[in-house]
Amino acid sequence: MWQHTGMYDPSMRVLTVLELLQARESVTGAELARVLEVSPRTVQRYVARLQDLGIPVEGRRGVGGAYRLKPGFRLPPLMFTGEEALSLALGLRALHLLGLGALAPAAHAAGAKLARTLPDAVRETVEALEGAVQLDASPGVVSVGAALLSGLLGAVHAARTVEFTYTSPQASAMTRRVDVYRALHLDGRWYAVGRCHLREALRCFRLDRMAELRVLDASFAAPPDFDALAYLRSTLPTAAPAAQISVWLDAAPEDLRGRVSVWFTEISAEAGGTRLRAERETLPGFAAFLLGLDCEFRVDGPPELLAVFGRLGARCAAVGRGAPVRA
């Protein structure tokens, strides 16, 4: 259903008429009048203006008359509202958050084309809003190749079997043949989910471990309404309840930017240093991270983190004595 455009400038309403005509095979004058909140006679003037610009609008007069674009005529969507332009611009800038930094040159070119299509006022507003936003990828995001992702998505769309070399931590590289039902992004990683011919069962594959993707001629039929995200989540290990961590660090917040993961982490200035609050499922790794920051710190919670440091201290003392240390 169309929504009120909120644009009262006549030129913008003329462009809105064009957008509505491109969205439907035909539109009645009454519908256009209702959406634009103008009279049918005003709609006729907007249509006449489009025709004067060379846009082939055809119409039927009388009760129930409708307008349509000449069959086969289409204009590229070069006119955007401020919100539409901002969403596109921020989306292009945020690709690296999905591990798609390889698309940076294409995103830059697309952004330049977008800027050229915008009216000066809209472009200046979008640039100002972009300048007020800072985006940073978490260290946990894993990059994938643009060509591999594009090839895989094409195979999913065409329902074509793919073959690729797959390397996992548990096994050496081997060739896998898979009917990929969906590709998806979860917790900083890209996955392919589908039926593995080798195992003859559903399997998940990380795209950053794939290489030498080949799209085969064989086709398949994906199960209807397959929920790849639910299946992927069911294969991941059940996480322990996250520990609520509170630590004071003898360092300014600006000195920690880029050194502290942004995932489930908050830092703020406090008492000449930084208060770090975080949620973590495993504490030993976080304890090692704190030791590696090379600044004084105080653990205010949870008690389990203090116990981890106690065990680490005992192991360090054993190393100092030359005694063997077990994992």
Secondary structure, 3-state, the chain: CCCCCCCCCHHHHHHHHHHHHHHCCCEEHHHHHHHHCCCHHHHHHHHHHHHHCCCCEEECCCCCCEEEECCCCCCCCCCCCHHHHHHHHHHHHHHHHHCCHHHHHHHHHHHHHHHHHCCHHHHHHHHHHHHCCCCCCCCCCCCCCHHHHHHHHHHHHHCEEEEEEEEECCEEEEEEEEEEEEEEEECCEEEEEEEECCCCEEEEEEHHHEEEEEEEEEECCCCCCCCHHHHHHHHCCCCCCCEEEEEEECCCHHHHCCCCCCCCEEEEEECCEEEEEEEECCHHHHHHHHHCCCCCEEEEECHHHHHHHHHHHHHHHHHHCCCCCCC
- In whole angstroms, what is the distance from residue 303 CA to residue 301 CA? 5
pLDDT of residue 164: 96
The identity of residue 39, as a single letter, is S
Residues 69-118: tens digit of each pLDDT: 888 776 655 567 777 777 878 788 778 777 887 777 777 777 777 777 77
Q: Which residues contact 134 (CB under 8 A, 6 or more apart)?
A: none
State residue 102's pLDDT score: 75
Q: Domain map of the chain by residue range?
A: 10-69, 82-131, 146-235, 243-320
Neighbours of 148 (CB within 10 A): 19
The whole-number average pLDDT for the span 8-21 is 74
Sequence-distant (6+) residues with CB within 8 A of 123 are 85, 115
Q: Which residues of 48-79 are buried (b: 16+ CB within 10 A; e: fewer)?
A: ebbeeeebebebeeeeeebbbbeeeeeeeeeb
Q: 3-class secondary structure for 112-128?
A: HHHHHHCCHHHHHHHHH
pLDDT given at position 241: 67
- Say which CATH topology domain 10-69 has: Arc Repressor Mutant, subunit A (1.10.10)
The one-letter amino acid at 279: E
Does 243-320 match 146-235 at the fold level? no
At residue 290, does pLDDT exceed 80?
yes
Q: What is the CATH number that goes with domain 146-235?
A: 2.30.30
Give the Å distances, CA to CA, from 185 to 111, 205, 219, 316. 23, 12, 24, 40
Q: What are 270-280's pLDDT values in tens digits?
A: 999 999 999 88
Structure tokens at 257: 């930017």
pTM tops 0.75:
no
pLDDT tens per residue across span 117-166 = 777 777 787 777 777 776 766 666 788 888 898 899 999 999 999 999 99
Domain 243-320 has CATH 3.30.70.250: yes
301-322 pLDDT, tens digit per residue, is 999 999 999 988 888 888 877 7
Amino acid at 286: F
